[in-house]
Amino acid sequence: MTAAFRLDEFRRPGRHTLNGKVPRIPEFSHLGHAVFTKVGNLGRHEHLGQFEICLIVRGHVTWWARERTYELRGGDVYFTWPDEPHGGLHELMHPCEIYWLVLTVPRPSLRAAGTFLHLPAKEARELCRAVHALPDRHLRGAEKLAPYYQSLFKHLLSGTELDVVHARALLQRMVATLVALPRAGEDGGFVPPGIARARGFLDGTPRPWPNVKELAALAGMSVSHFHARFVKEVGMAPMEYAHRQRLERAAALLREPDGSVTSVAERLGYCSSQHLAACFKRYLGMTPGQARR
């Protein structure tokens, strides 16, 4: 079957995006996937008349919207409302893997809501109402939405008449799943005691630093099982979590009157002030001086 439409596709190492108009899916605007292996830039921006729905597959990012910051980790879903300025804290994007989708969801009072994603009018308006009534932008359940994003890439790239039908059905199911996701602050269910024990231990920034084998022993798990379960529950690898917790403590100590980089590095178990500075740059994208300010 020949292609019925073609989107603008952009590929570069670690990044894949699709932009443009899809026939009979006027709500679609943009779809993207990226793996950031080092700190990059994410400045202030907004999407006129459109929602941006992001999935954090793994890693840890700090984003802001409406003068509030959000600490996001693997498994989180985050969206911004239309016309809403947002971006990364200090205009930074930290190492992570993410998907994002820019989509028009009309307000239920508008005529366009009755034709949303070609659903029957009553269902279309109800789905639009549910999106606009979401009480919080920070949700859990990225693993439930990721398959829809992955399939959207496949069908939008194929670009046939039948793929339009598939893509529209995927968007309908994706949005219906989105509005049923729990808030990130709600109880996420059972957390293995061993994972909670290891996380609590790391929160205390212990000296000397434990390795993954020692943490697995503390959790009562094999190394491979512990690592996989820690990533699932916490959203990042154990050692990355350890660094971030320690650096948050370092930033607080640097803001004290006698908090020199050398004294803080020694107090928290870094090899040197240069080692501390390198970790700030790698994990937070800033220098100790910037963290102090």
Q: Which of 249, 250, 269, 246 is nearest to 261 (CA)?
A: 250
Say whether both 38 and 146 belong to one domain.
Answer: yes
Q: What is the DSSP letter of 182?
A: P
Q: Model's pTM, two decimal places?
A: 0.79
CATH number at residue 63: 2.60.120.10
pLDDT digit string, tens, across residues 142-151: 999 999 999 9
Going 135 to 236 to 85 to 45, the CA torsion angle's sign is: negative
Give the C-alpha separation, 195 to 233, whole Å.
Answer: 8
Better-predicted residue by pLDDT, 235 or 269: 269
pLDDT digit string, tens, across residues 151-205: 999 999 999 999 999 999 999 999 999 999 999 876 555 678 888 899 889 888 8
2 in any annotated domain: no
The count of domains in the chain is 2
Domain that holds residue 64: 8-178
pLDDT-based confidence at 39, cuts 50/70/90?
Answer: confident
pLDDT over 70 (residue 1) = no
Q: What is the dihedral of CA 202, 207, 211, 212, to 10 degrees?
A: -20
Say whether both 151 and 174 belong to one domain.
Answer: yes
Asked which of 126, 148, 178 is the last residue of a domain, the reply is 178
The pair of three-digit structure tokens given for residue 144, joined into one six-digit string: 């439930």
Find the DSSP H helices in the chain: 121-132, 142-158, 161-178, 193-203, 212-219, 223-234, 238-254, 261-268, 273-279, 288-292
Say whether both 201 and 240 belong to one domain.
Answer: yes
